[in-house]
Amino acid sequence: MMLGKKERYYWNKERCGEEALNFKNKTEFRKKSKGAYESARKNGWLNDICSHMYKLLDDVWTKKRCLEVIQKCETKKDFKTNFSSAYQSSIRNKWLDEICANLKEIYKPSGYWTKDKCFEVAKTCKSIKDFKTKYATAYSKSLKNKWSSDIYKECNFIKKIDRNWIVYSYIILNKYIYVGITVNEKSRISNHLTNNNSSVYKFIKNNNIDDSDIKYKKEKENIVDDNEAKIMEKLFLEKYINLGYIKLNIKPTGNLGSNILYWTKYRCEEVAKLCRTKIEFIKTYNSAYNSARKHKWLDDICKHMIVLKKPIGFWKIKENCRNEAMKYKTKKDFKKSFIAYKSALENDWMEEFFPTLFNKENCRNEAMKYKTKKDFLNNNKSLYNIAYKRGWLDEICEHMINNRNPKGYWTKEKCLIEALKYNNKKDFKINNETCYNKATTKKWLDEICSHMINYRKQKGYWTKYRCLKKALKYNKKTEFILHDNAAYLGAKKLGCLDEICSHMIIVKKPKNYWSKEKCEIKAKKYKTKIEFLKNDKTVYDISYKQGWLNEICSHMSKKSKNI
């Protein structure tokens, strides 16, 4: 191996081959001789010069060695985790199923998770979260098959909540009946009269029923036992149906909803003590916050918290805004306190809190240097724009001369007097565009410009003879285009361009004109590749594409950067 920096193009195939013989595998070759490795890889020699090397995985991890290490594993997962290289080699060589035949199968067969088995594994867990983490499949099966409530009760994950059930009914038009049970009467009434998912609300809305035709009735209340509430709901519904009422209930009776509340008042209070403010409580324990708000415990459990909300009108006081602004270095940072920032903007206190060069006084001093607004705009556009945006422009430019003509100034007579100063329309437009545009809009232009010389050729002016006469002045088409474009386009329209340009030199080279020899002759004129690229880009690009560039530029200085 050679040490030190190699000269450019040092690593050819022979030298890379010699270097590769010093290593046993490609990884070692890449780490210890990166220059030779990369050169071989880019030029496609890598596999040829590394043919003597062994493949690390498949040669080291033979079937025999894989069988030896698999004795240390209990499952396929252990094998993959602890011996990843051996595992990959086994897959490639199709030994995996054979050598893993004696390992334990961690996947359970279909139908394995019965209610009893879910209950058994749940007993070993401390909480619902622990059950979900350790036995995800058993957890999801218990939810799907509605065993979770029984399992949670038996395992004492959450204590049963004492609730007072109410059996209620809606009688509509003395003909239709809906019976339900609830523990939150107020919420359920609101739900039935406003929620699109409620069968009662849908029926009322679709049939345009008046409030006077709807009767709400408490059938029975203070039912503590869940099963009793289910039975009572069913009995009352059957009673009304027997009396000839048509039921509006879609779902079968006996649905209690969820009877598990994780975020009890005690739990909410415990996590609330860990927070200093309500915002922190919301961000850190959002579920607990929502539960406390729903059950109206929020004020009680948040007594110790710091109140961040300011009283109404707090940010309308200048001193309060100033104190807040002092905490920040820039206006951009001040935006973090958005209400204070907005108040400072509305009351024009911002310049006082964050004085800058772009204030009204500086704009005024700059404006005093100029006689017109146009001069001000041309010489200091940034300050002009700031003054315009902030509404100071007219005030700071009071001293300036107003050169702008009043509305209706350009009459036909004045436009004619102005037009008489010029010999052609082009000069007229350049020197007084306002007058020219006014004349064009009012359709006076042709009349007031009748004295002017018309340089524009009439339609059909460019005949074949006239185009030929112009074309004979030039040796190349490019010259013809540049100096007599109108004649060139006229000939092109007439379809006689090739005929009138037959005497011209053809600059474009035929296909495959630039051979290696011709490119080399061109390259010898230049000392560096950059010079070659700038002066003969076409030849340079062809040489690069054909792969001759380095060879034909071998005489050039190597100090230049590679293009």
Closest CA to 176 of 232, 250, 235, 231: 250
Residue 314 phi/psi, 5-degree rounding, is -60, -45
pLDDT of 57 > 50? The answer is: no
Q: Give the integer Cα–Cα distance in Å for 422 and 435.
A: 13
Tokens representing residue 472 in the block: 């004979």
What pLDDT digit, counting tens, does each position of 462-502 carry? 898 888 988 898 888 888 888 888 888 888 888 898 888 88
pLDDT of 560 > 60? The answer is: no
> Left, alpha or beta for 156 (phi > 0: left; psi -120 to 50: alpha)?
left
What pLDDT digit, counting tens, does each position of 92-123 carry? 888 888 888 887 766 677 788 888 888 888 88
> H or E stretch including 1?
none
- Binned at pLDDT 50, 70 and 90, residue 509 comes out as confident
Q: Which residues contact 146 (CB under 8 A, 6 or more apart)?
A: none
Quick check: 308 and 275 in contact, CB under 8 A?
A: no
Percent of the chain at pLDDT above 90?
1
What pLDDT digit, counting tens, does each position of 182-191 carry? 887 877 887 7
Residue type, 128: I
Residue type, 113: W
Q: Which residues contact 304 (CB under 8 A, 6 or more apart)?
A: 273
Q: What is the 3-state secondary structure (H, E, C) of 369-433?
A: CCCCHHHHHHHCHHHHHHHHHCCCHHHHCCCCCCCCCCCCCCCHHHHHHHHCCCCCHHHHHHHCH
pLDDT computed for residue 105 by the predictor:
67
Closest CA to 305 of 270, 266, 282, 277: 277
pLDDT computed for residue 507 by the predictor:
65
Q: In what order do the strands lie in the sheet with 165-172?
A: 214-223, 165-172, 176-182, 246-247
What pLDDT digit, counting tens, does each position of 246-269 carry? 888 887 776 665 445 667 788 888
What pLDDT digit, counting tens, does each position of 411-447 carry? 989 899 988 988 888 888 888 888 999 899 988 988 8
pLDDT of 356 > 80? The answer is: no
What pLDDT digit, counting tens, does each position of 188-204 carry? 887 788 777 788 888 88
pLDDT computed for residue 161 by the predictor:
52
pLDDT computed for residue 398 by the predictor:
85
Helices (H), 256-408: 265-272, 278-284, 286-294, 298-301, 318-325, 331-334, 338-346, 350-353, 360-367, 373-379, 381-389, 393-396
- Its sign, for the CA torsion 320, 326, 332, 333, is negative
pLDDT of 357 > 70? The answer is: no
What pLDDT digit, counting tens, does each position of 299-346 carry? 889 888 877 677 778 888 888 888 888 888 888 888 888 888 888 888
pLDDT computed for residue 259 by the predictor:
46
pLDDT computed for residue 2 by the predictor:
43
What is the chain's mean pLDDT, rounded?
82
Q: What angle do CA 353, 357, 362 make, to 5 degrees?
A: 110
Tell how strand 246-247 and strand 176-182 pair up. Answer: parallel
Q: Give the integer Cα–Cα distance in Å for 179 and 249.
A: 7
pLDDT of 58 > 50? The answer is: no
pLDDT of 80 > 70? The answer is: yes
pLDDT computed for residue 261 by the predictor:
61
What pLDDT digit, counting tens, does each position of 143-166 carry? 888 888 788 777 776 544 556 788
Look at 278-292, 341-355, 549-563 and tell me which has the smallest mean pLDDT: 549-563
Residue type, 419: A
pLDDT of 1 > 50? The answer is: no
pLDDT of 226 > 80? The answer is: no
3-state SS, residue 263 = coil
Percent of the chain at pLDDT above 70?
91
pLDDT of 233 > 60? The answer is: yes
pLDDT (average), residues 371-377 = 85
- Its sign, for the CA torsion 537, 538, 542, 543, is negative
b/e for 198-232, b at 16 or more Cβ within 10 A?
bbbeebbeeeeeeeeebeeeebbeebeebeebbeb
What pLDDT digit, counting tens, does each position of 19-29 carry? 888 887 888 88
pLDDT computed for residue 222 by the predictor:
84
